[in-house]
Chain A
C-alpha cells in the first residue's frame, strides 16, 4: 500500500516538474529573438545631440587624446570616461547587457541576435558577429 502511495507521489512530482519546465521553456520561447544590424558605439557619442549622424566626428575632429577613429573613440569613452557600449541602428540606440562581448567589436558594424526588452530599450545578446 505504502509502495503504491509513494509511486503515485513520485509520478505527481514528475508531472509537476515537467509542467513547470515546459512553462519556463515556453516563456523563454515567447520572447521573440531578433537580429539587428548596426554599429557598436560608446553611449556618450551615441546619445549626444552633437552628433545627429551618431558619429564620432565631433570627438575626432577636436583631437581628443585617445580618440582618433571610431574604434579608439569608442574605447576611450567607455574605458577612460565611464561610458558603456551601445548598439546604434540608424537613429535607434539599444543598451547591451553583454558589455564584454561588445568590447570586442568596438567601433565596428555588427549583427546581433538576441531578445529586446522594450521597457528599457535593452538588447539581451545571444550572439554577436562582425557585419562585413
Chain B
C-alpha cells in the first residue's frame, strides 16, 4: 500500500515537471514564422497588409523568412537590402537584428527584443531613390 502511494506521488511530480517543461519551451515546429518581402521598389511587404507591421512578444523566438529583390542600386558585396532593427526612442540598434539580405529567399532564427515598446525596421543598403522610405513598424508587446 505505501508503494502505491509513493508511485502515485512520483507520477504526479513527473507530470508537473513535464507540464512545466512543455510550457517553458516552444514545441518543435511551432516557432512563429514571419514572412517579409524586401522588394525592388524599396518597400517591405507582408501578405495581407497594406502597411506592413510586425508585432511580437518580448523574448519570443521567431523565424524570419525574407525574400529580397534587387533594387536599382546595391552593395559591392552583393547585399541588396538590409533589415536592421532600431529602438524608436533613440535609434539604437538591437543586437542580433542587423541583417544583410542577398537577392532571393533566406531565413534567420531570431529572438524578439526583451524590452516591450516601439521599434523600427530599416533598410541599411542604398537600394534605390526611395531607399530612405524603406522602413517598417515593429512592436514588442509584453
Contact = CB atoms under 8 A, between A and B. Distances in A.
A79 B91 contact: yes
Contacts of B82: 82
Interface stretch (B11-19, B34-42, B57-65, B118-126): B118-126
Interface residues of A, number: 17
Given A64-B132, A82-B98, A83-B124, A48 B86 contact: no
Interface in B76-106: 76-77, 79, 82, 84, 86, 91, 93, 98
Given A44-B126, A48-B125, A62-B129, A82 B73 contact: no
Q: How large is the interface on B (under 10, 10 to 19, 20 to 34, 35 or more residues)?
A: 10 to 19
A91 to B, nearest CB: 9
B75 interface: yes
A82 B86 contact: yes
Contacts of A50: 73, 126
Nearest to B93: A82
Nearest to B86: A82
Nearest to B97: A82
